[in-house]
């Protein structure tokens, strides 16, 4: 009767009402059935599709008497004309995690006799990955001057960072408090734990105070096809106290390849309008960068101009959705005549949150593991591996253990991984693969993570969310060491596919690793 559940429901899916109860009773010593009619107050679900319950469970969390609980209706998730068969209807997430390639791969090389295994607690490990173009020894511009070896010209900038980058989720897609929690966790990991984790800003710009603070060196600025927020970044350049960690040109992402981003008008709050320099309207990023119609043009125009903007001090990478053309793109980047491409980021179909379209998640894109392996082997065949770092994302940590997923992808050729969805789960997201909640695009996120409504944003505890992310990354670091130690590696085993085995013959044949039955 308190009404807490009705007040907490952000989807307006339940309401207080009264139901008429008719009961036949007999209250006398002899049978005399008498019908009695009473009115009883209840909480009921609204019979309206636009106000359907998403199963987020906030009503259950807020109820002081344990009087209400969401119950999942299995039938409602099947197509109307195929109750007993056919695909399941979902609210954003994908079922492709049931076919995860990484789950069919295990670490099978344990160096206990040949190369003695290491002590994960006391041994010193070099867990760093490059972000920036790596020049081979023969191409280094060294000249002999008298008895000295001097650098004749500038080399491409390279930053050695932790092999896990917080994925690009913008201010707008996330609430300001959620974005602030991730930024706080990033700075804390760098300054207190010496873990050089980097965070990508996402498309949409950044607050002026952060752009002009020293902590901007922990952030990778992203420019996407909408160019949102870059006017502010350009104006803040003269006042920047430090260079950003890098620049990432987003061509596409795994959850919405070839579709562009979309920020509904409901999430374009006044502060988002100020950062992006737009009116309150639905913001749609074009599916491609206007004026760029080939890989060569993107290298020449965007890479060169963005390198020049920061005085050739900041590495510039490019992000594409994993697809059949990923190897072609990577080959062209490897032949970059300017030697300025700082990284190739590929994102698989299993990435993305509940904001992506269902049809994109199910039918457009490519799992990242096989494309990562193809790109690495293409570079190996030319003797160019390691020159342009490979970063892979899309489903990292989907089953909870991001460290194991990262280690396997590194062994398959990645220099590092991109983590996104698992971060918002650490902040308190209640969406999952069974269709629970997944209303990230509605602007009514019940946990305050993907909304701009002040009343809902206050539900997110910044300090607690940042602490959860910090704790997880410290566990991630510990688990990476526990996987490195038995393999006998002191540094990241990039391309060490001999350390992996697969329990699936098709996976083993495709990736070129050992098969174990």
SS (H, E, C) 106-130: EECCCCCCCCCCCCCCCCCCECCEE
Q: Which residue has the tokens 């932790």?
A: 162
Residue 138 is encoded by which pair of tokens?
Answer: 């023969």
Give the whole-number percent of the chain exceeding pLDDT 70: 92
**pLDDT grade, residue 443 (50/70/90)?**
confident
CB count in 10 Å sphere of residue 447: 25
Q: Spell out the long-range contacts of 148-155 with Cβ–Cβ below 8 A and sequence spacing 24 or more.
A: 154/312
Cβ proximity of 171 and 200 under 8 Å: no
State the sign of the Cα–Cα–Cα–Cα dihedral 454, 92, 46, 16. negative
Give me the residues paired with residue 35 across strands.
Answer: 24
| Helix, strand, coil share of the chain (percent; to 5) | 35, 20, 45
- Give the tens place of pLDDT for each residue, 61-112: 999 998 888 887 665 544 444 444 444 443 345 555 567 889 899 999 887 7
> CA separation (Å) from 264 to 288, 444, 451?
19, 12, 11
Q: Which residue has the tokens 């300054």?
A: 191
Cβ proximity of 411 and 493 under 8 Å: yes
310-312-313 Cα angle (round to 5): 75
Pick from 373, 399, 393, 398: nearest CA to 496: 373
Q: What whole-number distance in Å separates Cα of residue 188 and Cα of residue 194?
A: 9
Say if residue 228's pLDDT is above 50: yes
500-502/105-107 β-pairing: antiparallel
Pick from 353, 364, 369, 452: nearest CA to 406: 369
DSSP 8-state symbol, 43: E
> CA separation (Å) from 32 to 24, 28, 29, 130, 198?
10, 7, 9, 86, 78
Per-residue model confidence (pLDDT) at position 89: 40
Residue 515 is encoded by which pair of tokens?
Answer: 């098969």
Q: Helix count (H) and strand count (E) of the chain?
A: 16, 19
Cβ proximity of 11 and 21 under 8 Å: no
Cα 471 to chain centroid, rounded: 18
Per-residue model confidence (pLDDT) at position 500: 95
Q: What whole-number distance in Å separates Cα of residue 507 and Cα of residue 370?
A: 9
Per-residue model confidence (pLDDT) at position 434: 63
> CA separation (Å) from 335 to 244, 330, 369?
26, 9, 23
**pLDDT grade, residue 363 (50/70/90)?**
confident
Q: Which residue has the tokens 């698989």?
A: 348
State the sign of the Cα–Cα–Cα–Cα dihedral 252, 383, 158, 332. negative
Q: Which residues contact 31 (CB under 8 A, 6 or more apart)?
A: none
Cβ proximity of 221 and 242 under 8 Å: no
Cβ proximity of 408 and 105 under 8 Å: yes
β strands within 350-441, DSSP E: 390-393, 416-419
All domains in the chain, ordered by first residue = 4-71 (no CATH), 120-495 (3.20.20.70)
Say if residue 184's pLDDT is above 90: yes
- Give the tens place of pLDDT for each residue, 269-289: 999 999 988 899 988 888 877
Say if residue 505's pLDDT is above 70: yes
Cβ proximity of 152 and 126 under 8 Å: no
> CA separation (Å) from 326 to 51, 372, 373, 422?
41, 9, 11, 25
Interval 390-416 mean pLDDT: 92
Say if residue 231's pLDDT is above 60: yes
Max avg pLDDT among 136-145, 180-189, 389-398: 180-189
Say if residue 475's pLDDT is above 90: yes
DSSP 8-state symbol, 299: I
């Amino acid at each position: 009767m308190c009404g807490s559940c009705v007040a907490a429901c952000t989807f307006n899916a339940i309401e207080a009402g009264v139901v008429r109860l008719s009961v036949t009773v007999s209250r006398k010593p002899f049978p005399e059935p008498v019908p009695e009619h009473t009115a009883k107050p209840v909480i009921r679900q609204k019979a309206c599709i636009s106000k359907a319950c998403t199963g987020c469970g906030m009503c259950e969390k807020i109820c002081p008497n344990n009087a209400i609980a969401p119950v999942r209706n299995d039938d409602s998730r099947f197509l109307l004309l195929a109750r007993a068969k056919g695909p399941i209807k979902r609210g954003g997430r994908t079922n492709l995690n049931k076919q995860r390639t990484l789950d069919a791969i295990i670490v099978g090389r344990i160096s206990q006799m040949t190369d003695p295994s290491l002590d994960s607690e006391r041994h010193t490990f070099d867990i760093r990955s490059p972000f920036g173009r790596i020049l081979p020894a023969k191409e280094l511009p060294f000249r002999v001057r008298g008895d000295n070896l001097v650098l004749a010209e500038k080399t491409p900038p390279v930053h050695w960072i932790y092999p896990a980058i917080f994925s690009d989720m913008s201010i707008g897609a996330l609430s300001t408090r959620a974005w602030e929690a991730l930024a706080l966790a990033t700075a804390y990991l760098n300054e207190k734990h010496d873990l050089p984790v980097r965070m990508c800003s996402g498309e949409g710009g950044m607050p002026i105070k952060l752009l002009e603070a020293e902590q901007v060196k922990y952030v990778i600025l992203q420019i996407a096809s909408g160019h949102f927020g870059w006017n502010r970044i350009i104006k803040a350049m003269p006042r920047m106290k430090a260079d950003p960690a890098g620049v990432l040109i987003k061509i596409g992402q795994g959850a919405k390849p070839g579709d562009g981003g979309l920020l509904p008008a409901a999430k374009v709050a006044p502060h988002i309008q100020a950062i992006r320099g737009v009116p309150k309207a639905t913001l749609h990023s074009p599916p491609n960068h206007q004026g760029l119609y080939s890989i060569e043009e993107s290298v020449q125009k965007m890479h060169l101009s963005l390198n020049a903007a920061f005085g050739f001090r900041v590495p510039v990478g490019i992000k594409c959705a994993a697809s059949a053309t990923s190897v072609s793109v990577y080959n062209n980047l490897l032949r970059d005549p300017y030697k300025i491409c700082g990284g190739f980021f590929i994102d698989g179909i299993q990435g993305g949150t509940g904001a992506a379209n269902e049809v994109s998640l199910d039918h457009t894109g490519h799992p990242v593991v096989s494309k990562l392996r193809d790109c690495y082997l293409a570079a190996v065949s030319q003797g160019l591996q390691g020159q342009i770092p490979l970063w892979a994302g899309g489903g990292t940590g989907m089953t909870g253990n991001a460290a194991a997923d990262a280690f396997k992808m590194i062994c398959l050729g990645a220099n590092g991984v991109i983590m996104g969805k698992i971060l918002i789960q650490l902040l308190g997201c209640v969406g999952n693969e069974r269709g629970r909640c997944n209303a990230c695009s509605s602007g009514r996120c019940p946990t305050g993570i993907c909304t701009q409504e002040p009343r809902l944003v206050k539900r997110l505890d910044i300090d607690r969310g940042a602490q959860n992310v910090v704790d997880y990354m410290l566990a991630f670091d510990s688990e990476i060491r526990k996987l490195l130690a038995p393999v006998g590696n002191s540094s990241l085993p990039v391309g060490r596919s001999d350390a992996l085995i697969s329990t699936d013959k098709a996976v083993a044949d495709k990736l070129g690793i050992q098969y174990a039955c």
